[in-house]
Amino acid sequence: MQHEFEFNTFFSTVLMSLLIIFKLLGSLALLMFGMKSMSEALQKMAGPQLRHVLGAMTTNRFTGALTGMFVTAAVQSSTATTLMTVSFVNAGLLTLVQAISVIMGANIGTTLTAWIMSLTDAFNVSNLIYPAFFIGIILIYMKKRRIVGDFLFGVAFLFLGLTTLKDTGFSLAKDPETSVIISNFFQNFNEPTFANSLLFLFMGTVLTLCVQSSAAIMAITMMLCSTGVLGIDQGVMLVLGENVGTTITSNIVAMGANTQARRAAFAHLSFNAVGVFWVLLLMKPFFAMVCEVSGFDPSMTPDSPDFAIKSSMTLATFHSAFNISNALLLIWFIPQIERFVCWVIKPKNSGEEEDFRLNFITAGIMKTPELSILEAHKEIAAFSERIQRMFGMVCELLTEKDPKEFSKLFSRIEKYEDIADNTEISIADYLDQVSNAHLSDETKAKIRAMLREISEVESIGDSCYNMAHTINMKVQGKKEHFTEEQYTHLHAMMNLTNQALTQMNQLIKGRKDYFDVYRCYNTETEINNYRDQLKSQNIIDVNNHKYSYGIGTIYMDLINGCEKMGDYIVNVVEARTGTKMHS
């Protein structure tokens, strides 16, 4: 009977422990989901404006830091700000120096999250959670207010996760057995030694790296400190570790990216690591200053009035003070940081320029739709420029006399054709992943237009290859040469086609508001009229025996190839501008 009682007691204890663990994990999941939903909703509401703000307000390192701070505070995601900044560096809109200043500011902006968490101890936000859910679901079903509804749902989930986490933490602290076990564990490292400080620094780094969210680990740290289970001095070391851990995550994501992206990510790691180093050296006076500002007495016990509120506010103050002080100190050394990261991160050996590699779309974390579309736009621009270079090779192939150079040039065109096929598939797959997200009608329309663009650009590549193949068949068959008049007409047609390609690339790289659609339409009309004129002339010339029917057929295949490219170019322009140019 006694053994049965002991077994039942043991089983009940295990079951209760599992329930508490799952409650902690579930509240963390709610917290992370709430942060993600809130951040994405804010970026959808202000995405285009944020891009313009980042581009316009980074004239020097100080405005860059302020911009990064305010943008991150607005969207509640330093990762989103960093990724947007790096994409601007790739596009040449920002220098690496400007990007580093923006990321420094993003470090400060992200500390707002800690203050939101600390306020849940100062104010009872649980009464606001369910009204926010109710209002949010109404707005979600109102099509025009759907994004605002998503934002309210994110805020509600965030606070629900925080309050559940806090309540679970207090229930753990009140349970004698659990409290003793956890307290004894942390008591083993309670001595204020340098080794113990490094241990908690390492724990914060690893936990942030595993969870992939510094906000979630910050919430756990606040919960443990406010219940008295974890000492405040141990808590600040976890906070320092979280600052390092969140930069390692971005470096892992950037491993598959281009050189500038890896440099920006490494700069983030570098100045956070330097900050941790000098704070460790000055920890006693720095922490004393933070306690003075927040009104926290290190001798306070968990039974003291306002202990939970004061400890949470102290951690939030320490987090902000660390990032602000570090930014103020290192902002003067941004040029030196740039030189250091450029020295450490060397450009990858990409081999020949025509090796297949996407420049702006990278593997790793899926960004928000606003950022994803921005990156895909730049990838399409690079794709379109590569196709124009391919057409330039076809023009060279037409007049190349050296057999070895001809063979080498034709091989390059074949390689470009393979690259075009792979690029189309890669961009389409990426856009397909983006389309799986919760998107507005405007974003869905953009993705449909971009899918049409890459299909038409790839068709231009096919036409280039077909023209090159036709020229190659003529040379291999050792047929008669084109007449001087035919060469003149071919060059004129190719110049018109290249002009249309240039106009298309100007549109893709620039803003459609300033693009003259009818100029492109006029060029395409000129190509069509010239094709019709040459077609009629070709029949006359063959009948007059100026050249054979066979060489006339090859000649017209090349002319028709240029005309087809003109049609594909117009289709790209229509997709990008949303106008219908063909009757």
Sign of CA dihedral 442, 447, 451, 454: positive
Are 328 and 373 in a shared domain? no
Contact present, 59 and 193 (Cβ < 8 Å):
no
In this prediction, residue 353 carries a pLDDT of: 43
Is residue 121 a contact partner of residue 308, using CB atoms and an 8 Å limit?
yes
**349 in a structural domain:** no
Instruction: Enter the tokens of residue 554.
Output: 């090859």
| 284 and 380 part of one domain | no
Q: Residue 554 is part of a domain; what is its CATH number? A: 1.20.58.220
Please give the radius of gyration of the chain, using alpha carbons only, rounded to the nearest integer: 31
b/e map 227-244, b = 16+ CB within 10 Å: bbbbbbbbbbbbbbbbbb
Q: Specify if 249 maps to a domain.
A: yes
pLDDT digits (tens, 9 = 90+) for 338-357: 889 888 887 765 444 444 45
Is 353 a member of any domain? no
Q: End of a domain among 328, 344, 360?
A: 344
Q: Would the pTM of this model clear 0.85, i.e. be above it?
A: no
pLDDT reported for residue 352: 40
For the chain, the domain total comes to: 2
The residue count of the chain comes to 583
Q: What is the pLDDT of residue 284?
A: 86
Last residue of a domain, one of 285, 309, 344: 344
Helix (DSSP H) and strand (DSSP E) numbers for the chain: 21, 0
Same domain for 122 and 256, yes or no, is yes
Are residues 293 and 376 part of one domain? no
How distant, in Å, are the alpha carbons of 23, 82, 229, 549 from that of 168? Answer: 7, 34, 13, 87
- Provide the percentage of residues in the chain whose pLDDT is more than 90: 14
Domain residue limits at 335: 2-344
The answer to whether residue 360 sits within a structural domain is no
C-alpha distances (whole Å) from 294 to each of 2, 258, 278, 313, 363 are 53, 43, 22, 6, 42
Contact 80, 106 (CB under 8 A): no
**pLDDT attached to residue 122:** 54
Q: Using an 8 Å Cβ cutoff, are 234 and 189 in contact?
A: yes
DSSP type of residue 168: H
Asked if residue 189 has pLDDT above 80, the reply is: no
Q: Is the model's pLDDT at 406 over the cut of 70? A: yes
Same domain? 74 vs 171: yes
In a domain, 160, yes or no: yes
Mean pLDDT, to the nearest integer, of 416-438? 82
Q: Which residues contact 287 (CB under 8 A, 6 or more apart)?
A: 233, 236, 318
The verdict on 374 and 340 lying in the same domain is: no
List, for residues 529-549, the tens digit of each pLDDT value: 999 999 999 999 989 988 888
Q: Is the residue at 55 inside a domain?
A: yes
Instruction: Give the pLDDT of residue 12.
Output: 65
Q: Which tokens hold the place of 470? A: 């036709």
Indicate whether 564 pLDDT > 90: yes
Residue 57's pLDDT band, with cuts at 50, 70 and 90, is low
CA 410 to chain centre: 37
Domain annotation covers residue 354: no
568 found inside a domain: yes
314 and 441 part of one domain: no
Q: Which two tokens stand for residue 499?
A: 């002009």
151-168 average pLDDT score: 74
Is residue 59 classed exposed, middle or buried when 0-12, 13-18 and 19+ CB atoms within 10 A define those classes? Answer: exposed
Tell me the C-alpha distance between 106 and 98, whole Å. 12
pLDDT at 436: 72
Q: Which of 313, 429, 312 minimizes the C-alpha distance to 376?
A: 429
Q: What is the DSSP string of 484-534?
A: HHHHHHHHHHHHHHHHHHHHHHHHHHS-GGG--HHHHHHHHHHHHHHHHHH
Long-range CB contacts for residues 6-10, cutoff 8 Å, separation at least 24: none
Regarding whether 328 and 204 lie in a shared domain, the answer is yes
| Average pLDDT score over residue span 380-395 | 91
Instruction: Identify which has the larger pLDDT, 17 or 101.
Output: 101
User: In angstroms, how far is the first alpha carbon of the chain from the final one?
Assistant: 92
> What pLDDT digit, counting tens, does each position of 251-291 carry?
766 666 667 767 877 888 888 889 889 888 888 888 888 88
Whether residues 38 and 176 share a domain: the answer is yes
- pLDDT grade, residue 395 (50/70/90)? very high
CA atoms of 288 and 306, how far apart (whole Å): 19
445 shares a domain with 309: no
User: What is the residue-averaged pLDDT of the chain?
Assistant: 77
**pLDDT at 51 exceeding the cut of 70:** no
Same domain, 377 and 421: yes
Please identify, among 344, 359, 383, the residue that sits at the C-terminal boundary of a domain: 344
Token digits for 399?
């007049």
Q: Are residues 380 and 254 in the same domain?
A: no
pLDDT of residue 174: 54
